[in-house]
Amino acid sequence: MSQSTGARPITGDDILSELLRNVEAGAFKVRYTTLVPCVFNVYLHAEDYEQIRPISSFLRDEAKKALDERLAALNRTRSMPSITKWLGLGGAAASEKKRMEFKALNPEWTIDFHRDDEDRLRKGDIEIYSELGSSEQEDFGAGAKTTFITRRGAEQAPPPPEPVAGPDSSPTVTIARTDRRAFAYLRYQGPAGSSTFPVTRDQTVIGRGGKAFWVDLKIEGPADVSREHCRIRRDPATGRFTIKDVSQYGVTVNGERIPSSLERGPAGDKIDRGVEAPLPDQARIGLADVFFLDFAIADSE
C-alpha cells in the first residue's frame, strides 16, 4: 500500500473539525451526565504553526463558537419528540436518555496552540491532547486525556464528523495515527462500537488511563481493567512483539494467563520486574477477563 508523502496546506477548518471529533470521542459518561473534554492542546508541525500563529486568537474564538454549537446540538438531540411525550410513550430507556445531559466541567473552553519542537509531527499533522476539566474537578475524572494525531494527505481530506444523537448512538470511533507506518493493529468492541487502533510505536501502553496514568490506547471498560493494564513492545531489530502485564487482575493471551511483571516491595510499593511474554503474530488479548482485543501484525493480514 503506497502512502502519500505530501500534505495539502492545513486550514483552520481542519483544526476545528478535529476538535469537534475529539469532543465526541473523548466524552465520559456518568449516569445522568456525559462530560465532554473542555481543555485542548493542539500541536502542529513548525510550518503549520507559523501559518496559523498570526491568527491564533481569531481561530481560538471560532473554535469556541463551534464547540458551543456542538454541545448545544448534542443536548438538543436528547429530548423526546413532543408527540411521544404527550402519548406517554418512550419507556424507561427513553426517559433515561432524556435526562442525559452533555456538559463541560469548566465554564470556558481552553484551547492552546503549540509548535512541535520534538520533530514528531509531519507537515499536515494535527495532534490534540484533551482533558475533561481542570485539576480541581477530580471527582469527575479530570485529567483523563484523549489523543488524536491526524494526517491530512495531499489528495484527500476526511469529511467533517457527523453529529451524534447521544452516547448510545455514537458512530464508531477509530483513534488513528496515520502519520506513521502501522506495525500491527488492535481491534476491539467499545461503547462506541468497533474500533481499530494502529500500533505505530515500539511501545504501546494500554489501560483505562487517568490523570497520573498516561496510556496510548485508552480503554472505556470496567474498573477491573487497570488504569495502566499492559504494555506491548516491539523489538525494532527483529520486528517481534512481547507483552507485559502491569495490572491488578491479569492478562491472558489466547486464553492463557501470562506472568505478572509486578511484585510488592518491602514498603508495599509496586516493583516492575521487567517480565514479558511473547505475543504471537495473531492473538486475542484479555484484560482481567472482562475486555478483549484482537492483535494482528500488519503483515499477517
Select the more confidently predicted residue: 253 or 87: 253
Looking at residues 142-148, what average pLDDT do you find? Answer: 44
Select the more confidently predicted residue: 109 or 88: 109
Do 236 and 110 lie in one domain? The reply is no
Number of domains observed in the structure of the chain: 2
96-136 pLDDT, tens digit per residue, is 445 678 999 888 999 989 888 767 788 888 888 888 875 44
Q: Is the distance from CB of 35 to CB of 140 less than 8 angstroms?
A: yes
Q: Is the distance from CB of 285 to CB of 252 less than 8 angstroms?
A: yes
Strand 203-207, strand 217-218: pairing: parallel
Amino acid, res. 299: D
Report whether pLDDT(219) > 60.
Answer: yes
Which of 94, 122, 156 is the last residue in one of the domains?
A: 156
Q: What are phi and psi of 94, to 5 degrees?
A: -65, -40
Answer whether residue 135 is part of any domain: yes
173-187 pLDDT, tens digit per residue, is 333 333 457 899 999
Answer whether residue 209 is part of any domain: yes
**Residue whose grid cell is 507506518:** 181
Do 150 and 20 lie in one domain? The reply is yes
The whole-number pLDDT of residue 221 equals 84
Which of 105, 121, 156 is the last residue in one of the domains?
A: 156
Do 144 and 250 lie in one domain? The reply is no
Which of 128, 156, 184 is the last residue in one of the domains?
A: 156
248-285 pLDDT, tens digit per residue, is 999 999 999 999 999 877 777 778 899 999 999 999 99
Q: Give the domain CATH number at 212.
A: 2.60.200.20
Range of the structural domain that residue 237 is part of: 173-301
Q: 195: closest CA among 227, 169, 217?
A: 217
Answer whether residue 139 is part of any domain: yes
